[in-house]
């Protein structure tokens, strides 16, 4: 691996990223419903943290893909 290959996304990273995106979208309605039910009965801080779960999962997937492409 040369210094010009650094930061390039490999085909495996693209396939894994796409698979993670498809699985995330597939379970999104189920998770969203569960988070909504939990947020209704939780205190305000816990409700906010529960509602931030989905955006944090999306950010974690992007970071994971970036870390994989870095090395």
The reported pLDDT for the residue numbered 20 is 85
Residue 1 has pLDDT above 80, yes or no: no
Write out the two tokens for 23: 């699985």
pLDDT given for residue 9 in this prediction:
73
Average pLDDT over residues 4-30: 82
Instruction: List the chain domain ranges.
Output: 8-70
pLDDT of res. 2: 58
Q: What is the pLDDT of residue 7?
A: 64
Q: Considering only CA atoms, which of 10, 7, 57 is closest in space to residue 32?
A: 57
pLDDT mean over 40-45: 92
Helix 44-51 to helix 53-70 angle, to the nearest 10 degrees? Answer: 40
Convert the pLDDT of each residue in 19-33 to its tens digit: 888 988 899 899 889
């Amino acid at each position: 691996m040369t210094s010009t290959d650094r930061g390039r996304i490999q085909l495996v990273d693209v396939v894994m990223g796409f698979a993670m995106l498809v699985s995330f979208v597939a379970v999104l309605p189920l998770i969203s419903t569960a988070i909504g039910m939990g947020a209704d009965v939780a205190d305000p801080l816990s409700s906010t943290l529960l509602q931030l779960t989905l955006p944090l999962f999306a950010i974690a997937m992007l970071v994971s893909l970036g870390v994989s492409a870095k090395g």
